[in-house]
Each structure stands twice: as structure tokens, then as C-alpha cells.
Structure 1
Amino acid sequence: MSLKLTILGCHSATPRVNANPTAQFLEIQNHHFLIDCGEGTQVQLRKYGVKFSKIKHIFISHLHGDHSFGLIGLISTFRLLNRETELHVYGPKGIKEIITLQLKLSNSWTQYPLLFHELSETTSQLIFEDATVEVYTIPLNHRVYTNGFLFKEKEGERKLDMNAVFNYNEIEVCDYQNLKNGRDFILKNGTVLKNEDLTLPPSKPKSYAFCSDTSYLPEIVPIIENATCLYHETTFLKDKENLAITTMHSTAEQAAKIAKQAKVEQLIIGHYSGRYKNVDAFKAEAQTVFKNTELAETGKVFEF
């Protein structure tokens, strides 16, 4: 099991040279998820070698421009590239209206299925599931309706303890999958060999919690508890905490408090305000509360 995160952009809304707005590319269990799509995301995807055809699911946290204005461009580019595979977009209610109006007025309807999953619930919801991965919303508190997203691997197969298996000649290769699936083995004399005596527990499932723009919100802790990695916005340092409250954003210290309370393994912080020239101060502030903190940087890759 592995989890790989590429930061495509990690700065706040004000346009600046070499400061791209929020977008991330997550690879988990052979899925390729795009998380948020600020202006210029498709250029960043090209820059960092992400194949457009891999993206089948896009998750938009909220409808502020630095998190969603790149979406229409990416959807249109898929059309120009003659995409045929369906594309699923998960985002706040209204996202379908925004995109379809742009497609209508530009006469640029997609030739591929474009499927919207509009969100409006204020409690955590399961919004995607297959055999290996689940995705839940993380309700946040911002100036508009906003969700974070929790991506979770499902528990995998048990592992064969070959030293134990080789003690029994009756266990053949064709029996291995049943053992991995958790079944006991019955010998010809009727003796039941317990599965836990023949196998080892599967690897601990990994999870990634993405918390977009939000004020300090301890209520999310139970949802993201024990996550492998948490990304949490840190628009301000604590010297601007009053501004964070007014704009409904978080400070680096507050993000670290969430990470500590949730007992996550790793914290990544980003969405830095343009008023700060040295983002190292964000890491220093967060590490006073939660040591295992890293800065999001455009183009940086995290693997777990």
C-alpha cells in the first residue's frame, strides 16, 4: 500500500509570480484524484508530468476562485484532447450550474460523460467507495459552504506466514487466497487451523485528510483521527489571528493543534497569505505544537 501526494499549488488567492493557488494530485491504491483546481492547474499538471487521462475524479472543496476557477479550463482541455472516459466532479451545490453555463455559452459541450456530484450536507458523508478506497467529506467552517476530504484505504488482505504454512503439507498453493481472505483451514482429520495461526495482519491502511479553507475547528478531529497525513490550511501566523477569525481562516499554530489533537502522523501546511515573504515562519510556528510538520511547496512530492 502506498500514498503519493504532489503539490501543484499551495498559496492563497492573490495572483503572484511563482505562487500557484491550491491544487493537489493524490495517488492512492491505483486511483488518481485531483483535489481542488485553482487557476492554472492544467499547466501545473503538465509541468509535473501528470497524464490528464489518469484523472477520473476531481474533488472541489469550495467555490472560491483560488480553489475552483481552473476547473472549466481543465474540462475544456479534456474536450480538445478528445477524451472519451467519464469525469466525476464532486463539489458544492452550484458547481454544475457554473460549469454548464460556461460550456453552454461557449458552445463547448464535452463529448465525454461529465458527471457532477453536488454536496450540501453539513455532516461527514461517504461520497466515493470502491473495493479499495473510501472518500468522506470533512465539513469545514468558511465564508461559503466548504468541505475537506478524507481519503482512506480499505484494509487489505492478510499476509501468509509461510513458516507456519509450510508446517502443513495439506495446504497447497490453491488454498493461499482463502487464507489471505481470512478463512480457517480444515485438515483431513477434521482439525481446524485458525487463520491467525497461518497468517499475519495486513499492513495498516493509509489515509490522507485534506482540510481546505476553514477557521479553527476542533469538531473535525474525530473525522480525521489517526490519519497518516493531514494537510491543513495556514493562511496566517498567530500575529494575525484576529484577521484569521475575520476571514474564517486558520493560523499555523491552530493547524498544529488540530494535528496534535487528531494524533495524525504527519502535518503539511499551506495556503500562505501573500503578506508573508518567508514561509519558513509557518513551519517554525507549527512545530512549537506539532513537531512532524512540513511545508507545502509547489512541485513537492510526499510519499507514505
Structure 2
Amino acid sequence: MFSVTILGNNSAIPTLDRHPTAQVVTCNDQLLLIDCGEGTQLQITKYKIRRSKIRYIFISHMHGDHYFGLIGLVNTLNLMGRTEPLSIYAPPELEQIIQLQLDCSGTILKFELSFIPLLPDYQGLILEDKDLRVTCFPTQHRISCFGFSFELQKRKRKLIPDQARAYEIPAAYFSRLQEGADYQRKDGTQVKNDWVTLPPGPGKRYVYCADTIYDVNLLPWLEGADLMYHETTYLHDLHERAAERYHSTSVQAASLAATAGVKKLLIGHFSSKYTELQPFLEESRPVFANTDIAEEGVTFLV
């Protein structure tokens, strides 16, 4: 399974029904948390997210609405007896902040907490395991800020059944072929795997664009994504304010999605000045039809 659950979709100031940014990516049997705004652990409880399954946390930048909930979550995990390691990918300053809070409260963690620094302007691979490949890229905000690309890797090769039968390979062995094994016939002939299979196709990909001004330089990271999240802090009549504050509008996010040829767009990080979110869709969908609100509590399949 590869999906994204929205825990928070608001910008800096929480409202009674919208929370600062946080999302959970489910990749088979593991969970990854993207940003951790104030109240994230309450949202985790509300939407029945298995916090014990969170292995990695990715913090896009050092504005509080993207990490103020982190120390509370770390402390809760410790109180609940976590022993599995937890890795946090974030700007290097965050480690100092969290460690100071732990030291001041005399908290000794029962689990290993590792920080992997995201240095300004870095781009490229930051995590790869058997299922998932994660890369980061800089976005254009007031301070150093990152977006993240999550790709579910396909490991099994694509079988060519007619070719396999032509080499008299029994169907019971097909699963081994998909795993990359060669086959030895009874007469001793070696059938090479690439004679009867094709390389795995590209995996599904989710791209998360954190706070950013409208920036066409992001397009290489977005192209062809199955699901893309992009901030839309303001409606388009406030595009000048958006630019001044290094944020984007509904129309701008939709334009990037259309140009990049993504399959689906999620929009979020709404300013607290808006009480209704439907106008964001009304502006976005004429530009890019397959747009949805990143609604809290909703899970989107990649």
C-alpha cells in the first residue's frame, strides 16, 4: 500500500477546525511523517495512526508551524516505551532545539533518536530501503526549505510468459524469475533471466512541495508524479502578497501541476484568513481539473 493521510492543512496560525502542516505517508508496513506542526500527535490519535510504526520524520524547514509538535510527539513515544530507532531528516538547527528541550526536562530517551541534516540547497537521495526511495530538493522560501519525493520502488521484474514457456520453464518457477533468478533446464541449458523478463517499471511517486514561492525551477522534480502536494496559502487575487511572503496561490499551484503533467494535485497550507476552502478548488480546477483539497483525516492513494 502507498498512500498519504492528511493530519494538518493550515498555515502558521491554527484554527478550530484546521491544524498546521503534517502528513503521514504509508509505504507497505512502515509510516513516514512529513512535517509536525502543533497538535500533530493529537491528530495522530484522532485518525488512529499507529505512531509506533513511524520510522522516519521529514521536517521541511524551521518555521514553527512545521515542527512545533515534534518535541511533544518524541516525548509521547518515549513515555509509551518505544525502543525502536527513530530518524529525523531536518535542517541541522533542529537537533540543537530538540536536545535542549530534552536536557532542560531531564528526559532520557529509551530509543535511539538520529538526526540527518539537510544542508541548504542540497538536492538528491537521502533515504533508500527495500521499498522506498526518498529524495529532497530545495524550494524557494524565506529561509532554507525542502520538498520531498517519495517513490515506491518496484523490485519484481516483468515476466514475458510466452518467452518463458518457449524455454520450457514451468509456471511454478515464474515467481523466481520475477525475483531475478536464472533457470537451468533438465538438459543443463542455462536460461538467463533477461531472456524471459523485462526490468521493473517505474514505481509510484508522491512529491511534497513545502512552503515556496511560485517557481518553475521545481518542474524537474514534479514531472510525471502520480500525486503532488503544493501549498496554496492564498487565493489568486492576493498573488502579490503571496510573492512578498514567499508563498503561492491556487492558480499558481494548478499551473505547475498542469505543466509538470502530474496525475493528481493536492492543495493545502491555507491562510487562517479563509474560513471556506471551496474557492480554492473553484480557482484551481479550471487550470488543473484533477485537484483536491488536502482535507484533514482523508487518505489519498498514490
Q: Does structure 1 retain, via aligned residues, the 8 Å contact 2:19–2:39? A: yes
Match of 1:257 in 2: 255
Match of 1:237 in 2: 235
What amino acid is aligned across from residue 23 of structure 2 in structure 1? Q
Match of 1:248 in 2: 246
Displacement of 1:281 after TM fit? 0.9
Match of 2:221 in 1: 223
Displacement of 1:211 after TM fit? 0.7
Alignment map for 1:134-283 (pairs within 5 Å): 134-162=133-161, 165-166=164-165, 169-171=168-170, 173=172, 175-182=173-180, 185=183, 187=185, 198-199=196-197, 202=200, 204-283=202-281
Change (3 A) 1:199 1:76: same
Q: Distance in 2 between matches of 1:303 and 1:259?
A: 17
Range moving further from structure 2, 22-31 or 236-245: 22-31
Normalising by structure 1, we get a TM-score of: 0.92
Per the alignment, in what secondary structure is the counterpart of residue 210 of structure 1? strand
Aligned length: 302
Displacement of 1:204 after TM fit? 4.4
Q: Distance in 2 between matches of 1:18 and 1:202?
A: 43
Aligned-residue RMSD, C-alpha: 2.2
Q: Distance in 2 between matches of 1:280 and 1:250?
A: 17
What amino acid is aligned across from residue 113 of structure 1 in structure 2? E
Q: Distance in 2 between matches of 1:4 and 1:211?
A: 16
Match of 1:28 in 2: 27
Q: Distance in 2 between matches of 1:275 and 1:15?
A: 11
Match of 2:62 in 1: 63
Q: Does structure 2 retain, via aligned residues, the 8 Å contact 1:156–1:205? A: no
What amino acid is aligned across from residue 255 of structure 1 in structure 2? A
Q: Does structure 1 retain, via aligned residues, the 8 Å contact 2:120–2:144? A: no
The reply on whether 1:115 has 2:109 as its aligned counterpart is no
Q: Distance in 1 between matches of 2:155 and 2:144?
A: 34
Q: Distance in 1 between matches of 2:22 and 2:145?
A: 15
What amino acid is aligned across from residue 279 of structure 2 in structure 1? A
Q: Distance in 1 between matches of 2:203 and 2:242?
A: 34
Q: Does structure 2 retain, via aligned residues, the 8 Å contact 1:12–1:21? A: yes
Displacement of 1:132 after TM fit? 2.0
Displacement of 1:180 after TM fit? 0.9
Q: Does structure 2 retain, via aligned residues, the 8 Å contact 1:91–1:119? A: yes
Displacement of 1:15 after TM fit? 2.5
Change (3 A) 1:123 1:225: farther
The reply on whether 1:92 has 2:108 as its aligned counterpart is no
Q: Does structure 1 retain, via aligned residues, the 8 Å contact 2:184–2:191? A: yes
Q: Deviations over 1:168-193 (max 9, x none)?
A: 545363x4344213466565568776
Match of 1:126 in 2: 125
Q: Distance in 2 between matches of 1:83 and 1:279?
A: 38
Match of 1:48 in 2: 47
Q: Distance in 2 between matches of 1:52 and 1:28?
A: 14
Q: Distance in 2 between matches of 1:188 and 1:15?
A: 69
Q: Deviations over 1:146-199 (max 9, x none)?
A: 1011001223312445566456545363x4344213466565568776757744
Q: Distance in 2 between matches of 1:74 and 1:170?
A: 53
Match of 2:72 in 1: 73
Q: Does structure 2 retain, via aligned residues, the 8 Å contact 1:29–1:133? A: no
Normalising by structure 2, we get a TM-score of: 0.92
Q: Distance in 1 between matches of 2:185 and 2:14?
A: 69
